[in-house]
Amino acid sequence: MNNNSSVYEGYCQAVNTDLKGRSDVASTRLLERFQKKLNPGQSKTQADIACIGKFLEDIERVSTFNLNGMTDANISDMSYYIRRVLEQGTIAISDRFGFETWPQSTFLPESLSHEFFMSFGHGKSATGEATHIIDKICRDEISYTNSIKGFLPFLNAYHPPLYNSVAEMLRDNKGKVEGSRTSTVAKNETTSRLIGMEPSINLWFQLAIGKYLELCLASAGLNIKNQQTKNILMAQQGSLEINQGDENLCTIDLQSASDSISIDLVKKVFPREWVDLFLNTRSSHTLLPGSDSYIELPMISTMGNGFTFPLLTLVCSAIVFAAQCEFHNMNIRYLDWKVNAIYGDDVIIKKKYFDLTCDVFHRAGFIVNHNKSYSIGLFRESCGGDFFNGVLITPVYVKDLKTQEDILIALNQVLDWSSKHFNLSNTLQYLYALLDKQHRNLVPTCFADSAGIKYPTTERKRSVVYLEMVKVPKKLRITSLLLLFCYLSHSAINGYYMPRGIKVTWQIRKIYWPFSWDSKKVTSEVDNIFHRNDSWEDLVFSREQLRGHQKRRVCIIDGLMTV
């Protein structure tokens, strides 16, 4: 057994000791779930094999599925909803950016050359490891599929010098690929998560399309940027005992939702110009890890595609709309966002619609995860918020304990849980003992979990010393050609571009923090300095509850540091 395994085993033993003999809901939930995302350093191979196997099953399922179960009314209602959202969003976008539009337009091509919509992304591409546009050009890692060539005039209108560099590569047939390549990242203790790394040029336009869809959804009342918080608050509302009944809110979760939107479904419910947009910018094939041959993708997109999430949110909301039209046997006018919430595949609706909505999802080719969907009882879960009768019981999900930064993150998470429920003293003492002396600094609660032990008050000290993780990258001089792209990177200074993720160091910083600081009501000055917004937990709990949590956290930390 290696040292890492010993650390994880010690952590698990400490948690089990703290929870031994306890039967309350929060303890039971924590005991069931605390190892869910724990990565004890075992071989990644088996988790990756399980992930790839599941993805191949999804490909087989989507390729053989037909939409015969969808009624004409279902297709018509979904098409009506999607077109109305796109038309309404297009009008809002044209008004905001001054684009010319025409009646019943669902897309403005000019957006593909507007700086607000265009984004180059920060991830790896289909042909290399670089994460920045300049780095990709330096390494000749610009990639594309044959179907994207028709979109290059938009790139020329947006940034001619960049277009010239790309056009030169295209003339020499450099960077042409059949599709994306996939990679795996840790998900939980049994399986990994598959992420598609798209061809770089395709990704630029996918992100523009995704941003367009986000604005359309926002114009219809569904703002993806703050929808997660709304889902969590509505899950809390649905868990309350006083709200039980047909009008109560229930939650629906889907399995492999990102990989379940079939091309056939998109063709049936989207306007033709949007179908062409999706088909020409997507990756029709992908290269699996360890394979040298591409496989065809029957789904419209996968995770990693720039428009997958807003597209999934729009499709799921259209299915909810169609189900409610079928329930009332009439065309309803809109979705009431006071009692409906959709964030990707996290869906919240009234209980009376639950069974029929699940059925319509099945007809459309999705799989409802009934183990994580709740329509009866006092438990609800959505977007990471677990509630029982209105009480937050989200467990601690520790992912790694390999570095001091990982341990600090875990310690602060356990402190959060302990301040809301009861003191996990053995677990806290175990994690605290793993910290080096220099990492045991107290920092204000608005700091990152990795900065130090988050302490709710600064009455003891006006100055706060903490450790900040600073990336010190290797500098690369930009050639005269690439100086044209300097404005694309905030790190391009004085003719130098600094690639990300080269080296990490720890740096000690000392700041002066105001007395009587209140974490519930951060002053605008402090908020501007740290770019800190109130978390959704500030809305879940009352001010008195938050102060109680702070006092308990102070007592726990004081006791921990005196042991």
Label each residue of 254-303 as H, E or C: EECHHHCCEHHHHHHHCCHHHHHHHHHHCCCEEECCCCCCCEECCECCCE
What pLDDT is recorded for position 356? 97
- CA nearest 210: which of 310, 134, 133? 310
Supply the pLDDT for residue 458: 46
Torsion of CA 543, 545, 550, 553, to 10 degrees: -170
* pLDDT for position 139: 58
Instruction: For 103, list phi and psi in degrees, rounded to 5.
Output: -55, 140
pLDDT of res. 115: 79
CA distance 229 to 226: 6
Between CA 216 and CA 250 the distance in angstroms is 26
What is the structure's pLDDT at 128? 66
* Distance of alpha carbon 316 from alpha carbon 227, whole angstroms: 14
**What is the model's pTM?**
0.86
How many Å apart are CA 15 and CA 395, to the nearest integer?
12
The ranges of the chain with pLDDT < 50 are 1-2, 458-460, 478-498, 501-502, 515-533
Q: Which amino acid is at 229?
A: T
CA distance 56 to 299: 12
Beta-sheet pairing, 180-186 with 192-197: antiparallel
386 residue type, one letter: D
Rg (CA), the chain: 25
DSSP 434-465: HS-GGG--EE-TTS-TTSSEE-S--SS-SEEE
CB atoms within 10 A of CB 543: 11
For residue 8, give every residue at least 6 positions away whose Cβ sits within 8 Å of its Cβ, in sequence order, or none: 38, 40, 41, 401
What's residue 113's pLDDT?
83
- In terms of C-beta distances under 8 Å and separation of at least 24 residues, what long-range contacts does 531-536 make, across chains too? 532/446, 536/228, 536/229, 536/232, 536/233, 536/385
The Cα 136–Cα 530 span in angstroms is 31
Return the pLDDT at 44: 66
